[in-house]
């Protein structure tokens, strides 16, 4: 096997490792609310999320194509750049997982790609228009999630204002099975495509795929979908604890409202014509939970925890960019 072939194998392996880690790192997004309200047992929730993550990951390729062309120009992509970016994102995801911090895998990989590419070529390599669009989606999607969570929770509170709380909670425990599956599907449809886009860039760099063909091959789709599904099955219990209880004490009706509002935002970003934007499921779900909590009363939200999460969100892209640049510098001397 040629050196280029070995490098490509490494890229594919790291891409799948990133997807696997993304699966257990972001499992909490889809199932934290249903586990915390005891609508589902942890085992049931993980199985449900694994299945729907797999189905969602095979659904579309629009986000993968955005990743492949809108961060840096494919002609500047090298195997070393991709490896450095993936190592940076994997490192960050593992650190935040160990600390139980719900950080963004989307921010991590975008920061990693940007930092590695800049270290390779310079700032001129960045696709500023596309990168700006992606960053805007990452910034505003949790705000939209918060607004939707607030509105949907207010509507549900109005509709069921005269119903017995015990009856409402019993009904929404069943509804949460649907909403958790829907959110897991949308998580898979958006998040798994990030690795698909990265691997596609590597294939183009190796001359195995034309630059004009940005859609990932079927084997890439299947491999990434399976890796994320297996990672989801592994669970991410530290982050589930933060998402499910530390932000706001959830009842089943609150969990349903948070899942539904998150699904609407992620689905719109994934499939809406002209968008196909990567968003952070972690950010959107966190924003939705905060919006739902605020609909009950602003003081119900533990804003200190929210502030800690916000700090982690803000530092993710700069940190992974610098880490990727460091990885690139070291790898360039070794390879």
pLDDT at residue 329 in the model: 96
pLDDT in tens, 227-252: 888 887 776 555 555 555 555 577 88
Q: Which of 119, 29, 104, 111 is nearest to 67 (CA)?
A: 111
pLDDT digits (tens, 9 = 90+) for 16-50: 999 898 887 776 667 777 877 788 887 788 888 88
pLDDT at 33: 76
At 135 the pLDDT is: 86
Question: Which residues have a Cβ under 8 Å from the Cβ of 114 and sit 6 or more positions away?
Answer: 71, 72, 126, 131, 317, 321, 324
- Structural domains of the chain, count: 1
Give SS3 for 108: helix
Mean pLDDT of the region 59-70: 81
Confidence at residue 15, expressed as pLDDT on a 0 to 100 scale: 92
Q: How confident is the model at residue 225 (pLDDT cuts 50, 70, 90)?
A: confident
281-321 residue pLDDT tens: 888 888 898 899 899 877 767 777 667 667 777 889 999 99
Q: What average pLDDT score do residues 170-188 get?
A: 90
pLDDT score of 333: 87
Residue 282 backbone phi and psi in degrees, to 5: -55, -50
Can you tell me the distance from the alpha carbon of 262 to that of 9, in angstroms, rounded to the nearest whole number? 35
Domain residues for the domain of 225 are 3-334
Q: What is the DSSP string of 188-250?
A: HHHHHHHHHHHHHHHHHHTTSS-TT--SPPHHHHHHHHHHHHHHHHH--HHHHHIIIIIS---
CA torsion angle 150 152 158 160 (round to 10): -120
Distance of alpha carbon 26 from alpha carbon 280, whole angstroms: 10
In the 3-class helix/strand/coil scheme, how is 237-262 assigned residue by residue?
Answer: HHHHHHHHHHCCCCCHHHHHHHHHHH
Tell me the two tokens of residue 314. Answer: 């803000």
Above 70 in pLDDT, residue 2?
no
Q: How far apart are CA 190 and CA 165, in angstroms?
A: 35
pTM of the model: 0.85
Q: What is the DSSP letter of 39?
A: S
Lowest mean pLDDT across 103-117, 152-166, 290-304 = 290-304
Report the candidate in 313, 310, 288, 290 with the shortest Cα–Cα distance to residue 300. Answer: 290
Question: Nearest to residue 51, comparing CAs of 243, 225, 262?
Answer: 225
Cβ(138)–Cβ(279) below 8 Å: yes
The whole-angstrom separation of Cα 195 and Cα 182 is 21
């Amino acid at each position: 096997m040629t050196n280029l072939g070995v490098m490509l194998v490494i890229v594919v392996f790291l891409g799948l490792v990133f997807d696997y880690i993304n699966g257990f790192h972001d499992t909490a997004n889809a199932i934290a609310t249903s586990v915390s309200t005891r609508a589902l047992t942890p085992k049931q929730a993980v199985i449900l999320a694994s299945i729907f993550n797999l189905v969602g990951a095979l659904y579309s390729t629009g986000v993968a194509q955005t990743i492949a062309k809108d961060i840096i120009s494919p002609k500047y992509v090298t195997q070393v750049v991709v490896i450095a970016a993936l190592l940076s994102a994997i490192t960050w995801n593992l650190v935040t997982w160990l600390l139980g911090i719900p950080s963004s895998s989307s921010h991590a990989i975008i920061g990693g790609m940007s930092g590695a590419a800049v270290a390779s070529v310079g700032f001129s390599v960045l696709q500023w228009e596309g990168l700006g669009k992606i960053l805007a989606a990452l910034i505003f999607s949790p705000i939209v999630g918060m607004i939707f969570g607030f509105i949907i929770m207010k509507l549900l509170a109005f509709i069921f204002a005269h119903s017995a709380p015990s009856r409402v909670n019993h009904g929404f425990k069943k509804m949460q099975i649907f909403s958790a599956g829907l959110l897991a599907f949308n998580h898979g449809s958006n998040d798994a495509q990030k690795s698909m886009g990265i691997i596609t860039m590597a294939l183009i760099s190796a001359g195995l795929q034309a630059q004009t063909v940005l859609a990932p091959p079927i084997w890439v789709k299947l491999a990434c979908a399976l890796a994320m599904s297996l990672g989801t099955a592994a669970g991410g219990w530290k982050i589930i604890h933060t998402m499910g209880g530390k932000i706001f004490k959830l009842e089943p009706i609150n969990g349903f409202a948070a899942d539904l509002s998150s699904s609407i935002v992620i689905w719109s970003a994934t499939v809406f014509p002209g968008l196909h934007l990567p968003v952070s499921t972690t950010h959107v779900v966190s924003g939705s939970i905060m919006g739902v909590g605020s609909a009950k009363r602003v003081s119900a939200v533990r804003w200190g925890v929210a502030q800690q999460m916000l700090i982690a969100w803000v530092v993710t892209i700069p940190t992974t960019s610098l880490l990727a640049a460091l990885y690139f510098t070291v790898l360039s001397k070794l390879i």
